[in-house]
């Protein structure tokens, strides 16, 4: 227990902040993923073959390649890409990108591929009559989407989105390879300096279990809210 003391003697406060970092990265990545889903879901549902192809390539590649490889691409490639863009504007100094941004972006792209599939499935399973009814009611495009389609999509998507959230949360452990101090990285540091890896990695496992448990409870509540009336 001394090992977990707050302050200079233990690792309690460090692990606490690391947990907050994991939560922050997960939420940012999930949000970036939603932005990607917002772009790629319409492309997937579009009748244009070319747009379909682009969206399908995105989801197939991301879901077929290991997360770690994607993270390495962003970790090693991100700096190069930014420096290349900067060099066009005449800036040739070394630029280091924040590990948080690289990590959240890499996990976000992965999370986005899963979210896209979830939203596509949810929209496709909405009864055609709903679209027709919205037309008959004379709603414009915005009203149709926000008042009729989106609420029903959310209800159908939430159970699967909770899976995406779990995947995203667990994937953030991989960002530790880039040096961002989240749960895994902090446990690695603590295990190295105390020579007690068994304790710290087991404690990391408990923290992740706690995060998945609490987020499941919250998501169940959200699910109940969107399912009222069913």
Considering the complex, state which of residue 72 and residue 100 has its C-beta at the smaller distance from other proteins: 72
- Minimum Å distance from CB 171 to other proteins? 8
Q: Quick one: how far is CA 222 from the chain centroid?
A: 18
> Exposed (0-12), middle (13-18) or buried (19+): which is 129, by Cβ within 10 Å?
exposed
- Minimum Å distance from CB 10 to other proteins? 19
Considering the complex, state which of residue 148 and residue 190 has its C-beta at the smaller distance from other proteins: 190
CB 37 within 8 A of CB 116: yes
- Minimum Å distance from CB 16 to other proteins? 18
Other CB atoms within a 10 A radius of the CB of residue 49 amount to: 7
Considering the complex, state which of residue 149 and residue 177 has its C-beta at the smaller distance from other proteins: 177
8-9-13 Cα angle (round to 5): 60
- Minimum Å distance from CB 144 to other proteins? 34
CA distance 52 to 43: 6
- Minimum Å distance from CB 189 to other proteins? 13
Q: Which residues bind other proteins (CB under 8 A)?
A: 60-61, 63-69, 72-73, 76-77, 80, 166, 170-171, 173-174, 176-177, 184, 187-188, 191, 195-198, 201-202, 204-205, 208-209, 212-213
CB 179 within 8 A of CB 25: no
CA distance 202 to 28: 26
Considering the complex, state which of residue 77 and residue 179 has its C-beta at the smaller distance from other proteins: 77
Considering the complex, state which of residue 69 and residue 88 has its C-beta at the smaller distance from other proteins: 69
| CA dihedral sign of residues 184, 186, 188, 194 | negative
């Amino acid at each position: 227990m001394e090992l977990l003391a707050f302050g200079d003697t233990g690792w309690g406060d460090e692990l606490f902040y690391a947990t907050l970092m994991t939560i922050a990265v997960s939420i940012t990545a999930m949000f970036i993923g939603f932005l990607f889903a917002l772009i790629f879901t319409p492309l997937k549902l579009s009748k244009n073959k070319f747009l379909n192809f682009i969206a399908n390539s995105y989801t197939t590649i991301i879901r077929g390649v290991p997360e770690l490889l994607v993270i390495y691409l962003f970790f090693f490639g991100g700096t190069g890409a930014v420096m290349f863009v900067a060099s066009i504007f005449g800036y040739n100094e070394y630029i280091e990108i924040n590990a948080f941004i690289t990590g959240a972006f890499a996990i976000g792209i992965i999370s986005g591929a899963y979210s896209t599939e979830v939203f596509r499935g949810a929209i496709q399973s909405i009864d055609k009559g709903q679209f027709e009814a919205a037309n008959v009611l004379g709603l414009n495009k915005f009203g149709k989407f926000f008042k009729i389609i989106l609420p029903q999509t959310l209800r159908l998507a939430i159970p699967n989105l909770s899976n995406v959230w779990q995947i995203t949360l667990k994937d953030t452990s991989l960002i530790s390879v880039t040096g961002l101090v989240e749960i895994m990285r902090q446990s690695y540091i603590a295990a190295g300096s105390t020579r007690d890896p068994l304790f710290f990695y087991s404690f990391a496992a408990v923290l992740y279990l706690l995060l998945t448990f609490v987020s499941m409870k919250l998501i169940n509540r959200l699910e109940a809210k969107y399912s009222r009336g069913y």
